Amino acid sequence: MVYNFNAGPSILPKEVFEEAAAAVLNYNDSGLSILEYGHRTPAFEGIMQEARDLMKELMGLDDNHQVLFLHGGASTQFMQVPMNLLDLKESAAYTDTGLWAAKAIKEAKLFGKPEIVCSSKDKNYSFLPKDFAVPNDSKYLHITTNNTIYGTQWQKIPVTSNSMVADMSSDILSRDLNFNAFDLIYAGAQKNIGAAGVTVVVVNKNILGKVKRNIPTMMDYRNHIAEGSMLNTPPVFAVYTCMLTLRWLKKQGGVKAIEKINNEKAALLYAEVDRNSLFKGTVAAEDRSKMNVCFVMEDGQKEAGFLQYATDNKIIGIKGHRSVGGFRASLYNAMPLSSVAYLVELMKAFENN
């Protein structure tokens, strides 16, 4: 058995792998692979509709919020969001809390005036700023709810009267939130929703159509809403895998149930990081991510040894991002508590040896 702590593409539920693998050979006893199914067939239209319905159900979305499955990854959303919501002379508030937030700010400059209302860059993004104001004339506030690289997470979502936009790529559906409070949410699927190759966008249709610019057909959210996420050929297999993963999450009891398990996993690992004399965390305690646990060793010379020890014991994907170093254990929804307990035992054994 291999223990996969990769930050993404990441672990998925075993039953999802098994059902998806079977469908590659023969989907639903049709004699066809899911890879060759036409996207305009009733079968795939049903898959797409079920995936969208499950997202709405699991997030508790109202009728104004539409679910889209799009191409391009979250990185495309860095520019698609301001293209749809921000005119050139208008401003939007952005929180600079990590690499992906900085990339979103860079793209927004092409379409309007992003104003950085807070930043933790000077501390290598090791905490989340708390005291900041959002200008009243900002079209929206953009936050990255969880920072995969640095291991921070907004434990309390900022409150604002402005529209809320969130990149939730690495913690969507991992905890119970009032998702209707956001006017636009986007997330790459490859952490908690499914396989790489599709991006989920949840958008309040009432915020669209306000900008003066002409928006290219493929970039206009309204066109994707009108066509049910099939304005062009969707990533069929990736959407199918999302549907299976969402079915699995519903079977677990939904977002509230998985949040309880995620809290247990994070608490177990952080307790060992804090207890173990060899390790230390890199993030302010109140801002620690429950999805991506980042830590280093008190003696950096020992890090190569622990990485090799972990690798020899079938743990993969825990090497930290180059901008932080050390280690990063990603605890997404499909990660079982037993795998986290196994990592903790290895940390104890390494300390004793």
Residue 56 sits at the vertex; the CA angle it makes with 53 and 62, to the nearest 5 degrees, is 125
Cis omega (within 30 of 0) on the bond before 135?
A: no
Point out the catalytic residue in the list 100, 183, 265, 290: 100
Q: Which residues of 333-352 are buried (b: 16+ CB within 10 A; e: fewer)?
A: bbbeeebbebbbebbeebee
| Alpha carbons 102 and 78: distance in angstroms, whole number | 10
Catalytic (active site) residue 167: yes
For 120-178, give the DSSP string.
-GGGTT-S--------TT-SEEEEESEETTTTEE-SSPPP-SSEEEEE-TTTTTSS---
Q: Find out whether 218 and 72 touch, Cβ atoms under 8 Å.
A: no
- Does 176 qualify as catalytic in the annotation? no
Tally the residues of the chain: 353
What angle is formed at CA 191 by the lines to CA 335 and CA 275, rounded to 5 degrees? Answer: 45
How many whole angstroms from its chain centre is CA 162? 23
Q: Please confirm, yes or no, whether 154 is among the known catalytic residues.
A: no
β-pair partners for 66? 203
Catalytic residue among 96, 139, 171, 191: 191
- Which residue in the list 96, 139, 154, 167 is annotated as catalytic? 167
Strands 279-281 and 292-297: antiparallel
Q: Could you tell me which residues come within 8 angstroms of residue 83 by beta carbon, excluding any fewer than 6 positions away?
A: 111, 211, 213, 215, 219
The neighbour count for residue 30, using CB atoms within 10 Å, is 13
Q: How many helices (H) and strands (E) does the chain have?
A: 9, 14
CB 137, CB 253: distance < 8 Å:
no
Catalytic residues: 100, 167, 191
